[in-house]
Structure 1
Amino acid sequence: MQATFLLLLSAVIELQAAPATLTDHLSQAGWQLDKFTQIRPGLTHIAASKRGEDPLKLQLIALEPGQFDGQLKLATATGLYPALTPLPDIAKRHQALAGINGGFFVMQRQDGIPGDPVGAVIVDGMLLSEANGALASVIIGPDDAVDFINEPAISADLQLDHQFWLEFTGINRAAGLVRNCGPTSSTVRHDVTCQQNDELILWQHPPDNFAAEIISAEGGPKRMLCYVILNDRLTRLDPANLPKELPGPMILATGSYIEALKTHIGRNVSIHQAPNLPQNLLSSGPSLIKQGQSADFETQQGWPQGHLPDWIEGQHPRSIIAQTNTGMILLMTIDGRQPGFSTGISIPALKELLLKLKVQNALNLDGGGSSTLWLEDKVINSPSSGAPRAIANAILMLPY
């Protein structure tokens, strides 16, 4: 009996010590602890600050797998896709205990459809956005687990007459406009939109405003044909006269794909998603820490030498998902662009901090005005624009 009690006591002490170790690491890195609160078993909130000429404010939620009785969840902005809405709305819709903004996305109509994510996104087993070709990814779940990987080369295919295969060049996005370019790592450029003449785009659940919002996308191709699958047959529709209610998935073709589909109209076709997909996956970048090591991962992930140097070296708001060498999962924001309160942090300085926190793997999420951290029905960081920005997706901690 005494031995059992001592084992339980040891486990409790170890549980309490794990987040406290983070505060020790922060203190050793020159940060002052402002707040330390255990929200529930396995979930702790830490706030810290740095004073001086370039002050900094940090908010951190630490989750201990196996101790937290909830689950991690990747969520889109709304039930429609793509779409944009602030983190508080996403968190409330899912009754989330905590959450952080997700990956990069199209913001301006000239770059595609606002809310279209950059890189691969899988939610509840459904591929919602194709791979970018260079980013890193994090697998969310099952339960309270994460796995940091290179972005998988995943898309979907169109099978023609049971024998010919065409890979979709895009999923749920405007034809002809590729945010961050790609699809190979050598051509990827962060915050750059490239035009693509030859496109085969799959829209799994076309929105009601499909004709106005997607077909007429600014900067898209001059000629585009639309198709649906009716009774397993490829059926062409007039882009200028689409029905209000679209019968199932929509296929858009431009350039050489128009010719490739011409002889298959009225014939058997089917759509195939890549097999063995994780349930939830988010692509972002750059990688900050891999297997406990720091390197210039950004040069291979959309920020080659000389491209957007201020994005890397400048002091900006940042959002991060990370995992320590003891397995703790961290959701963290560092506020920025607020002189006298928090100036922001550069990517090199952020890597240095994460190494001091004994982080094993870390992925940079969308930062700047998107950086938002939510806990117990409120935003706990200070978004640089004064209010939470509308975003495309979020990583949530659900209390069940």
Structure 2
Amino acid sequence: MAPARSPLRTTVKASVIALAAAGFIAPGVVAAPFTDTAAAASPAAVPPPLASWQHDRLASGVDLYQGTIAGRPGADHWTVTVRANGAQLAAEQDAQALAERLRGAGFGARTERVDWPAGADRSGLIGVRVRVGEFGARADADAQRQALTAAGFDAVSEWTGADGTPGTGTARVKVALVDPKRYGGALKATYGTAVAGREKVSDMAGGEDALLGINAGFFVMEGKDGVPGASAGIAAYDGELQSAATGGRVAAVLRGDGLRPEFKKLSTVLRVRSGKASAVVDGVNRVPGLVRNCGGVGGDAPTQRPQHDVTCTDPDEIVEFTDELGTATPAGAGLEAVIDANGRVREVRPRGGDVPEGGSVLAGIGDGASWLRTHAKPGGVLTVQRQIKDERGRTVELGPHDDIVNGGPELVRDGKVAVNYGSDGIERVGDRSFAYTWGLKRNPRALLGVDRQGRMIVVAVDGRQPGSSDGFGLNEGAELMKSLGAVRAMALDGGGSVAMTVNGKVINSPSDGTERAVGDALLLSR
């Protein structure tokens, strides 16, 4: 994806051309004309890409824009990708060898180079995909795939509109602009009724009578990876830390009314003390030994670096559970110290039980269990110290009404596209395909940013719906946020989690076909 070669102008045509020049999506269809005369009288108040989109004023200072951006008519088709050792992308030499094998078997194979897009923290070739055929209907692609499978090849049918190739694809987009100078409500993060467990954004929004809602951070989906519904990255609500950071990944800090998000790469420093003795607390509200998205504080395998959608392990941990967990602590090997509201140890027990109201539980395994066995004595006092640090090592203090939601990667910094695939864990060492399929290819996305005027930008993009809405690649999302005037922006959780609500009703089209229950949400109160 090449960077834009000329600045955006104030006309709709120029803005769409600029997005196309950025390799975003080629000029195409937009929704019904903009009709709000008050905003139309102030063109600078409306970012150029939105000027002809359908517009609804939800409240004073809250404007919703809906539109569709599409590539060249007829640019997209069905094809069959032949995988090398189960991977979508191969090294160039391996891809050429696979293509030769296919041709020798009577299939018309081609190779397609995939490079890192401009604005990424990586450059050059990611890998090469091998494909067979171009088809107008999926059934025809499936027939070709079946023939390839019968010949011994690992093949999958794919829609090229999802590739992220400039001039292709379709994206249905919802953009909410929130002006904190004019809006009297607040933006708050919520986990719903409990930290553990999952709830739909529409249910959380309806319960709070929220004007607008959107899914927030990454979370644990399955028990094999931790506590389902708990955050997979840093999370804090009403000033209370409920999940530890993931090795410096970006997060949104919401202070006070939350309408001016701060974007910071955060880490957490947690320790438990008993007199002069102390030990590291590895996590909060997660299964000891399981570190979803990796990026823990020590001893993790296979890596200490963030690795998105990977669960690292650590045999020697202490994990804190808060009384907001909403369920029993996970059972397993090791032991737990049950602590009351005054920090006094009530009991030491096998793992698995309730968290006392106002208190907490420290669960230990391996060396962590040994430390607790030695230092957690009934009637004694354990003190947990919690610090949040930014990328410069400065302490991030939270007030009683402040929230943090995780996400990633960062998309825009200082008004420039800056997608950090490497440091955010989207690039996996030894795996060419993950950053390509998860990041470069088009998927449903939820995005959050702020512009130079201090307005908050909230975006939901439908995806994984061939011929209707393919979504965005991460760099495409970054280019859109930049075109909307964002000076800072990040991705929230995407994929099937993406849901935007207005007055408690979902207004986008979730890719699962129905709204997914998620870990937390951002709600705009009235």
Structure 2 length-normalised TM? 0.66
1:304 is matched with 427
* Residue 17 to residue 387, structure 1, CA distance change in 2 (3 Å): farther
Asked if the contact 2:355/2:361 (under 8 Å) is kept, the reply is no
The higher-RCO structure (CA 8 Å, 6+ apart) is 1
Q: Is the 8 A contact 1:208 1:245 kept in 2?
A: no
Identify the range of structure 1 (53-62 vs 225-234) with the bigger mean alpha-carbon deviation. 225-234
Q: Which residue of 2 aligns with 1:331?
A: 458
Pick which of 246-255 and 114-123 moved more.
246-255
Q: Tell me the residue number matched to 1:252.
A: 363
- The counterpart of 1:202, out of the listed 320, 327, 334, is 320
Are 1:47 and 2:157 counterparts? no
Q: Which residue of 1 aligns with 2:96?
A: none
What CA distance in whole angstroms lies between the structure 1 residues aligned with 2:175 and 2:483?
15
* 1:100-143 Cα shifts (integer Å, max 9, x gaps): 10011111111111112111111001100001113101112322
Kindly indicate whether residue 219 of structure 2 is the aligned counterpart of residue 105 of structure 1.
yes
What whole-Å deviation, never above 9, does each CA across 1:210-232 have from its counterpart, x for those lacking one? 16xx114xxxxxx3111113575
* AA partner of residue 259 (structure 1): S
Structure 1 residues 225 and 247: CA distance shift in structure 2, 3 A: farther
Q: Which residue of 1 aligns with 2:186?
A: 71
Q: Is residue 447–residue 490 contact of structure 2 (8 Å, CA) maintained in 1? A: yes
The one of 259, 266, 271 equivalent to 1:152 is 266
Q: How does 1:1-400 map to 2 (within 5 A)?
A: 17=42, 21-22=46-47, 24-26=48-50, 33-51=52-70, 52=73, 53=76, 54-76=169-191, 78-161=192-275, 163-183=276-296, 187-205=305-323, 209-210=327-328, 214-216=330-332, 223-229=333-339, 232-239=343-350, 242=353, 248-266=359-377, 267-274=380-387, 276-278=397-399, 279-304=402-427, 306=432, 307-399=434-526
1:148, distance to aligned residue in structure 2 (A): 3.0
Is the contact made by 1:72 and 1:141 (CA closer than 8 Å) also made in structure 2? Answer: no
> 1:376 Cα shift?
2.1
Aligned partners of 1:183, 1:69: CA distance in 2, in Å?
A: 39
Contact 1:291/1:360 (CA < 8 Å) preserved in 2? yes
Partner-residue secondary structure (3-state), 2:323: coil
Give the conservation status (yes or no) of the 8 Å contact 2:234–2:246.
Answer: yes
Deviation at 1:56, TM superposition (A): 1.5
Higher mean Cα deviation, 263-272 or 62-71?
263-272
Task: Report how far residue 71 of structure 1 moved.
Answer: 0.8
Deviation at 1:291, TM superposition (A): 1.3
1:30-69: CA deviation from partner (whole Å, max 9, x where unpaired): xxx4411112210101001123442210011110111011
The alpha-carbon distance between structure 1 residues 243 and 337, as it changes in their structure 2 partners (threshold 3 A), is: closer
Q: Are residues 245 and 368 of structure 1, via their aligned partners in 2, closer, same or farther at CA, if it must alter by over 3 Å?
A: same
Q: Distance in 1 between matches of 2:476 and 2:309?
A: 22
Q: Post-superposition shift, 1:256?
A: 1.0
**1 CA distance for matches of 2:308 and 2:355?**
36
Tell me the matched-pair count: 372
Q: 1:18 to 1:227 in 2, by over 3 A?
A: farther
Q: CA deviation at 1:397?
A: 0.6
Quote the residue 1:30 is aligned against.
none
**Relative to structure 1, is the Cα distance of residues 308 and 244 closer, same or farther in structure 2, using a 3 angstrom cutoff?**
closer
Of the two, which has the highest radius of gyration?
2
Assess if the C-alpha contact under 8 Å between 1:324 and 1:357 holds in 2.
Answer: yes
Residues 329-338 or 223-232, more deviating: 223-232
Please give the alpha-carbon distance, in whole angstroms, between the structure 2 residues aligned to 1:87 and 1:261.
39
Contact in 1 for aligned 2:411/2:488 (Cα 8 Å): yes
- Tell me the distance in 2 between the aligned counterparts of 1:353 and 1:65: 21
CA shift digits 1:146-202 (9 cap, x unpaired): 2333332224432212x3332310101111110011126962110000111111011
